Chain A
């Protein structure tokens, strides 16, 4: 056999092994979804799963999963290896943390790492993350002032030592969360999914007669890095700036990015961004890295699998103490509200380099309805507090979304979680879990920003307590209420989000608030921004929007008006 033949056989073999590795982590993720107890994992897909080399580099990651988890978890494994060096790990060990700075950005996310041994040697580590339903503290809301308010903090721990669960860790978790059975179920789902991954990996290694994953890992990472370099070659080199103003908790926050494309990759620098605040919307750097690199990779090398090689060319800088590099003990529970805006921030800079490739801004941050019953609220009246405590205890998240920004040549996606990628949880599931009645859930007409490509639509949701004598709480963490998704290239802004009671009062976009007994919460999620001049939208698509009720005749008139104006502008003026 010739040298070239053998090399090409080797490449094919490595590609095969790579594909198999991707299906291994996908199976790991599916196991997690099928065994987890909490709705965020089971129904919304708020999870991640991946496999790592013994030096901590990620080689494969399940496509199922959210960037905030995946890309933050990519770094997390290095922290585990730092706390528990590889040579101290034993077969049957499982490690755990929810450290926001070493995990995935808030205490609700549990990351579990399992080393895999072959012939007595650690050959890989599986890592997986879920969002648990409760972690104690003040609960899911941005109201905390410091991390200590936000619940139980598990530093990197040996959760299972050579097959034996540390009873103290489990007992402490049980004692500190409001829903111990569900949280414990999720923890063991993490253990199980890593174990399934490990088993499949060992089968693969046996089949391909691999003693370790180092050569394959180097190949995957090298190939991916090369593919990223190729993708980058399609982009001009240069420096572009962008600024996005977000609602913040009680004062607006400025997110400023400088994006530099050079021969050796992309640098994103957030210098100039607002400082951390005394509320739980601060973003640990790991999460900033995650959503920034995700944003970049949506535009540059989107088809390159996610791993240490494809992530390496993207370097993120943020001054320590700014809201995108918040330091301990900052409060971080709702870090997604700010972090999920980062792809939009990056897009605004990259649009200047390649306007034809970049979508407009979207709702971007999730509009999850975190609804709580059976608990009081400090600022509520005595009557409201009595009504709050009248009903049974519950705590559910209805993962909810607005519209994405219009895309080059395509409309934005309505009611779609971009960039987080999680699914909306079906109302029927929620109604079985809590005494809630959803009266309405429908597209929000006219919320998509007008443009040649229209922004995706938000939605209208109406929900109330099933017991008219009981009140409930909304733990709001919403953005795009005062600062809507901006249109681009002549497209108009999407509709801002809105939060009110059926009785008329407008609620604050952030913080715990009462939905009084007998009242109803009305949530209108933001629409995505439009892209391109409205005058350029094809008439057929306007007609279709009208037919589907996505746009009202009044709004359709905006397009007609724009076209008339455009045509008028083109008329030569009479002397």
Chain B
């Protein structure tokens, strides 16, 4: 090969890498535009969103790192559904499409997905998609109490939200009539339109700057490079099939989650055969969300540094029997699908640990422990007069437990893995609702003991600042079944919640009354430990004791029985 074509090839590769990086910056700016313009706290404060850019054939080529896997990876498929309903050649400049279909979007009605085609030189060159979790969508409201999707609020099938720049008035009118917070929801919808428009503008600039007619070649490059990187990453793993199963709380009866993970030349296959069936409560998981968290779990272990796109995701195939709780079909209720779906990385980890024990963390709290409180609205059985008089509010305090201990590192305390959302600061919540947070602190001893300790959960005490009754909509797991330790590590602490004065223990799932004057105490689960606790570095144990993360009573777990007194001394 002569030097000139070789130099050209190198230049071409550099150029493509540059465009790729710029594309990642474009989607990041899209996500930031969404965060800065959205009205709802879940987007603004917790980062419960996603943003990405797609080829006209529906393949995702770049995705903002800001965002949750449940949104991102299911949105990746969502664009294909939009294109099936509205083929690319029928799309016009200025069109914007919308859905909150749990089966074609991101798994529950609260997530609104908006897709905007981008035109360059008169031709569709890409689609921007983004998702937010709106504060209300009508129906019963947050929580897993619905029996079927019809109970859970307004269902927007795949629709034109704007046609050639003109908003579809009827859709906005219907949305406003069906949600409890029309201003906030409308604000979020326009934020989605805006962030896609920002992305589109930046992309058009990029195309002009690099003198590209379209993104086809660049997209192929990104997808191909990423697929290759995944294949390379997979080479570090043995081939074979491994099984794991986990029991989770369920709504009122425990559920079994089963996974068989196979690594072969094609990639990774995950099969959930054997998993419990759907239940008449809102904890069922549409397949898109199962795919999202399963592939996220795998990609945390295999090719974690490969950017997320169709190429890197293609190596992972997920199958689940129709009608199982991880492939729930309409009209199943799905509002709190996160309570099950966010367990799937742990389920996959348990299988992959058998292949590479040195690479895999222990189980964590995993599913979010969001504290969803509602004021001023009726509750079956009352006290409805007092509730009706109280100030109206509905607030989600994004709340987390501890993550599982990691190879060589402790678990992260009070951290949302796998969802990646942030805790919303109490000061923000206290300005938005008549709530008074009395306590929010690490929950000592909740991290599972191990060579690496599990991350700690937290203790939160909250009351209604007006002394009024209010309603808790709980969708918490790990109350009956703790995060399990691995390789000799201990389990994390189970989560629990109760009322301070009466001592009433609350259920992990469902709407429950917090009577006037009561204080809600929530203790979120800790992550599990990894490796034999007795092998823990004594300095790290001493530091935990000093920091109050572990109490002297609990420190005994880390010592051979005969030597326990030394540490305490």
| Chain A contact residues, CB within 8 Å of chain B | 99, 136-139, 145-146, 148-149, 151-155, 157-158, 166, 168-169, 171-172, 174-178, 277-278, 329, 375-378, 382, 385, 389
A171 touches B176 (CB 8 A): no
Q: How far is the CA of A157 from the CA of B173 in the complex (A)?
A: 8
Instruction: Check A171 against B140 for contact (C-beta < 8 Å).
Output: no
Q: Report the bound CA distance from A151 to B139 in whole Å.
A: 7
Give, as a whole number of angstroms, the nearest-CB distance from B366 to chain A: 27
Type the 1/0 row for B2-25, where 1 means its CB is closer than 8 Å to any CB of A.
000000000000000000000000
Hey, what's the 0/1 contact readout for B99-134 against A, CB within 8 Å counting as 1?
001000000000000000000000000000000000
Q: Are B170 and A382 in contact (CB under 8 A)?
A: no
The listed residue with most A CB atoms (<10 A of its CB), out of B168, B174, B176, is B174
Contact segment of B201-209, B220-228, B294-302, B378-386: B378-386
| Cβ contacts A to B, 28 pairs, < 8 Å | A137-B150, A138-B151, A145-B378, A145-B384, A146-B377, A146-B378, A148-B138, A149-B151, A151-B150, A153-B174, A153-B178, A154-B174, A154-B177, A155-B174, A158-B170, A172-B155, A175-B157, A176-B155, A178-B331, A277-B384, A278-B378, A278-B379, A278-B384, A329-B180, A376-B280, A378-B145, A382-B253, A385-B280
- B171 and A168: CB pair below 8 A? yes
When distances are taken between beta carbons in the complex, the residues of chain B under 8 Å from A153 are 138, 174, 177-178
- Note all chain A residues with C-beta closer than 8 A to B253: 382
Contact in complex: A172, B378 (CB < 8 Å): no
* CA–CA, A329 and B181, complex, Å: 12
Write the chain A residue with the least CB distance to B141: A148
Q: Report the minimal beta-carbon distance from B137 to chain A, rounded to whole angstroms.
A: 9
Q: Which chain A residue has the least Cβ–Cβ distance from B388?
A: A278
| Residues from chain A with Cβ under 8 Å of B384 in the complex | 145, 277-278
Q: Report the minimum CB–CB distance from A381 to chain B (whole Å).
A: 11
Number of B residues contacting the other chain (C-beta, 8 Å)? 40
| A178–B177 touching, CB < 8 Å | no
B150 touches A171 (CB 8 A): no
Q: How far apart are B391's CB and chain A's nearest CB, in angstroms? A: 15
B156 touches A175 (CB 8 A): yes
Given contacts A146-B377, A176-B155, A376-B147, contact A169 B140 (CB under 8 A): no
B443 within 8 A of A: no
CB neighbours (8 Å) of B179 from chain A are: 148
Residue pair A389, B151 in contact (C-beta under 8 Å): no
**Contact A137 B151, CB 8 Å, known A145-B380, A157-B173:** yes
Closest to A156 in B: B173
Give every chain A residue within 8 A of B280 (Cβ-Cβ): 376, 385, 389
A380 to chain B, nearest CB (A): 9
When C-beta atoms are compared, the residue in chain B nearest to A143 turns out to be B380
Enumerate chain A residues within 8 angstroms of B382, measured Cβ to Cβ: 278
Asked whether B377 lies within 8 Å of A168 as measured between CB atoms, the reply is no
Shortest CB-to-CB span from A136 to chain B, Å, is 4
What CA separation (Å) do A255 and B171 show in the bound complex?
39
Give the residues from 141 to 167 in chain B that come closer than 8 angstroms, CB to CB, to chain A: 141, 145, 147-148, 150-151, 153-160
Residues of chain B lying within 8 A (CB to CB) of residue A172: 154-157, 159, 171, 174
B157 touches A171 (CB 8 A): yes
Given A136-B150, A172-B157, A377-B147, A145 and B379 contact (CB-CB distance below 8 Å): yes
Known: A146-B378, A149-B140. A168 touches B154 (CB 8 A): no
Contacting residues, chain A, for B153 (C-beta < 8 A): 148
Known: A146-B377, A153-B174. 12 other contacts (CB 8 A): A137-B151, A145-B384, A149-B140, A149-B151, A151-B150, A157-B170, A168-B160, A172-B156, A172-B174, A175-B156, A376-B148, A385-B280
Interface residues of B in 287-331 (CB under 8 A from A): 331
Q: Are A171 and B378 in contact (CB under 8 A)?
A: no
Chain B hits for A152, CB < 8 A: 154, 174, 178
A382 to B279, CA, bound (A): 11
Closest CB in chain A relative to B65 CB, distance in Å? 33
Residues of A within 8 A of B145 (CB): 378
Cα(A463)–Cα(B40), bound, Å: 49
Given known A146-B377, A148-B139, contact A155–B150 (CB-CB < 8 A): no
Proximity string of chain B (521-542) to chain A, C-beta cutoff 8 Å, 1 when within and 0 when not: 0000000000000000000000
Chain A residues with CB below 8 A from B148, complex form = 375-376
Known: A171-B157, A385-B280. A157 touches B174 (CB 8 A): yes
By beta carbon, the residue of chain A nearest B100 is A175
Cβ-defined partner of B168 (8 Å) among A168, A176, A177, A178: A168
Shortest CB distance A390–B (Å): 13
Which residues does chain A contribute within 8 Å of B377, judged by CB atoms? 145-146
Q: A172-B156, A375-B147 are in contact. Are A149 and B139 (CB under 8 A)?
A: yes
B177 near A99 (CB under 8 angstroms)? yes
A385: B residues at CB distance < 8 A: 280
The answer, among A99, A154, A178, A382, for a CB contact under 8 Å with B150, is A178
CB-nearest residue of chain A to B168: A168
CB distance from A8 to the nearest CB of B (A): 51
Note all chain B residues with C-beta closer than 8 A to A148.
138-141, 153, 178-180
